[in-house]
Amino acid sequence: MIYVNFKAQSGTPDTAEWHKWRQRGIGGSDAIIIAAAEGLVEPPSWVRHINALFFEKRGYDCFKVQTNEAMRRGTELEPIIRERFERRTGIPLMPSFGECEFNRRIRSSFDGVSFDDRITEIKGSEKCYQRALLQEIPEYYTPQLAHQFLVYHGHPDTWRPDLVGYFCAGHPELEDIATVTYNSGQLQFLARKLLAAEERFIDSLRKNVAPAGGPRFMEFIEKIEPLIRERLAAEELVLGSKQTLVQAMSEGQRVDGFQLKQVTPKPKTDWRAIIEEVGATEDEIDRYRSKPVLAFNCSRAKLLDVPLKDAIGMYHGQVKRLAEAETQLKPVQEEAKVLMSSLGLDQLVGPYFSVVTRRGTPAYKRWWTERGIDKSIIARHTTDEESESSTLEALPA
């Protein structure tokens, strides 16, 4: 492995230098996306489409992954879990960064590597902790482990059979860890296939051709990306000004032309729990579903803090700007649906915009009536706790 040095105490330093290095190569979290696209593993819901990864690596800002709470918690817990691992096992670990000797675009940030070349991958989720207690590693994380072995130990055909790694998961509340030991033999077959898939992906980056959809998809993205960027920018400002106005009015300030409206959500029913209790099957529920809906989505940008003196004017101006941006995007919806169908894609890109086929919602009332389900079961899984939330409503001038 070719070592790379960063001034950081964690395996995932939040520095411009590290982000630039990561963006120019294929990392462990990227390996999960590539493996899923190749059908090597069944992906969890949070795994992005391979085209989203492609455009992120090509430098499209709207495809950059936004840090969420789970990611922040994982980063914060990593040094704590590493210290607990060291105390329990007596094995000192060093966060490391490196590139594969035979392909330097394949690289990895290691949570910890021992002095005798044992790699440790650290997770800070309760789900991973529970699986590790059973001496199980979630399948969708195996490409990440195989990728790390590729970077650190080289080509899978050269791996020694006694190479060992650790999958260590910590429970956020229990202050406990669980560790699973794995060896090179468990990853060797997957690593060969993953290496070929990653090299194909790197080649697509070099040729600037999207892995799914090819040149036609590239043309579509060049057309739609500026529209999406404008839509997100307008929405970000609308949300920021709205947030400021809501906060001001909740503190007793009067703002002409707006009112603060209290909304009480309707009671929610946990249909999944009811289905499990009465022993219904997915096939039975599917018979009550409405027709699938093909939907075009554009997700919300992060909130922006705006001074109160600017909020009212900005709110009116940016609402108009947002409406114009959405008008420009509207005709692209039909074009996206046609393109998706012609390319045989279930999902175009993510995370910011996609075309997906949503399953219809089951007609639960008809289902429970025809099946004769006792209403007490439904009542037991329905919450009637009232909660209030503040929303902003513009009044006519």
Residue pLDDT, tens place only, 96-154: 999 999 999 999 999 999 999 999 999 998 889 999 999 999 999 999 999 999 999 99
Last residue of a domain, one of 179, 207, 235: 207
Of 157, 181, 207, the position where a domain reaches its end is 207
* Residues 22, 44: Cα–Cα separation, whole Å: 23
Consecutive H or E run containing 177? strand 176-183
Q: What confidence tier does 221 reach under pLDDT thresholds 50, 70, 90?
A: confident
For residues 89 and 108, membership in a common domain is answered with yes
Q: Identify the CA nearest to 104 among candidates 38, 211, 35, 27.
A: 27
Amino acid 66 reads: Q
How far apart (Å, rounded) are the C-alpha atoms in residues 362 and 256?
Answer: 44
Contact 110, 97 (CB under 8 A): yes
Q: Are residues 41 and 162 in the same domain?
A: yes
Domain total of the chain? 2
- In the block, tokens 């296939």 appear at 193
Number of alpha helices (DSSP H) and beta strands (DSSP E) in the chain: 13, 12
- 159 and 258, same domain (yes or no): no
Which backbone phi and psi does 80 adopt, to 5 degrees? -70, -45
Residues 54 and 178 in one domain: yes
What count of other Cβ atoms lies within 10 Å of the Cβ of residue 183?
15
Same domain, 167 and 233: no
Indicate if 241 and 189 belong to the same structural domain.
no
Same-domain check for residues 389 and 241:
yes
Asked whether residue 303 carries a pLDDT value surpassing 80, the answer given is: no
CA atoms within 13 A on the CB side of 80: 16
Chain segment 329-383, per-residue pLDDT in tens: 888 877 887 887 787 776 655 545 566 666 778 898 899 899 899 889 988 888 7
- The model's confidence at residue 395, banded by pLDDT at 50, 70 and 90, is very low
CA dihedral 246, 250, 254, 259 (to 10 degrees): 60
In a shared domain, residues 171 and 228: no
Confidence of residue 222 (pLDDT cuts 50, 70, 90): confident
Side chain identity at 234, as an amino acid letter?
Answer: A
Chosen domain end from 185, 207, 229? 207
Domain that holds residue 186: 2-207
Question: Are residues 155 and 246 both part of a single domain?
Answer: no
25-38 pLDDT, tens digit each? 999 999 999 999 99
CATH number at residue 100: 3.90.320.10
Higher-confidence position of 13 and 324: 324
User: For residue 223, what pLDDT is reported?
Assistant: 84
Q: Tell me: do 185 and 315 sit in the same domain.
A: no
- For residues 30 and 147, membership in a common domain is answered with yes
Q: Same domain, yes or no, for 203 and 280?
A: no
Q: Is the pLDDT of residue 225 over 60?
A: yes
Instruction: Identify any residues that bridge with 362 across adjacent strands, giving them in sequence order.
Output: 289
pTM as predicted: 0.72
**From CA 103, how far away is CA 88, in angstroms rounded?**
36
Sign of the Cα pseudo-torsion (7, 12, 18, 21, in order):
positive
Q: Please state, in angstroms and rounded to a whole number, the distance separating the CA atoms of residues 214 and 91.
A: 47
pLDDT per residue as tens digits for the range 234-249: 888 887 777 777 666 6
Band of pLDDT at residue 289, cut at 50, 70 and 90: confident
CA distance 242 to 257: 13
